Amino acid sequence: MTTSALLLDLDGTLIDSEQMHRAAYRAYFARRGWPYDEALLSRFTGRRAEDVFATDPGPWVGEDPAVLRDAVVAHVDPDVRPPPVSGGAELITAAAAAGVRVAIVTSATLDWAELTMDSLGVRQFVEVVVTADDVRDGKPDPMCYRHACELLNAAPEHAIAVEDSPAGVAAAVAAEVGRVYGVTTTWPADALRTAGVTDVFKDLHSLVALVES
């Protein structure tokens, strides 16, 4: 079967950034005097922060989700550059060489996506970037993946998506992406399998052969 598109999440999939983001949440929650644990912080993984603040119960109830999001982002250390997930640049370049169109589908901002593409040296191979600002509802809503396929003129049932979180997997599955693969940089394999992945890998090297076939 010909692959129509490669749809890649960003944080936790192309770069190992979860600990950087969690540090920002910890710092902000501590400043506010809000109780938290890792289970609470995991609610934000793979989702737009404003969606979690708007819909999930927590000490933030009644506050402006967008203001809270911006306050957390302000606690991200600007000098930290998360390491790439092994095989990410190789996967993107292999897909492009095989004629597979590439999109990044992220809950982050365009600035962060562009910075990441530049650090990986793959900006020229990525045709479409769908960010938090491009859809009404973020992951696990499927609209981000549907929108990426529409922009690429790609059949979702023939596409490959790669994610590191259950929310992202759920979004790709609901968008009827044909093959959804997980990387265990952030969540354990069992959680990704429960969300509906086709298969799970420790990094992105194993996926290179899949886009070349």
Instruction: Give the active site residues.
Output: 9, 11
DSSP β-ladder status, 128-130 and 101-105: parallel
Q: Apex CA 27: angle with CA 26 and CA 28, to 5°?
A: 95
Query: Which phi and psi angles does 175 have, rounded to 5°?
Result: -80, 0
**What proportions of the chain, in percent to the nearest 5, are helix, strand and coil?**
45, 15, 40
E strand map for the chain: 5-8, 101-105, 128-130, 160-163, 179-183, 199-201
Per-residue DSSP letter, 47: S
Determine the distance from the C-alpha atom of residue 101 to the mean position of all C-alpha atoms in its chain, rounded to a whole number: 18
Query: Which residue is associated with the tokens 């996926």?
Result: 207
Q: Are 10 and 112 in contact (CB under 8 A)?
A: yes
CA neighbor of 45 nearest in space, from 192, 176, 177:
192
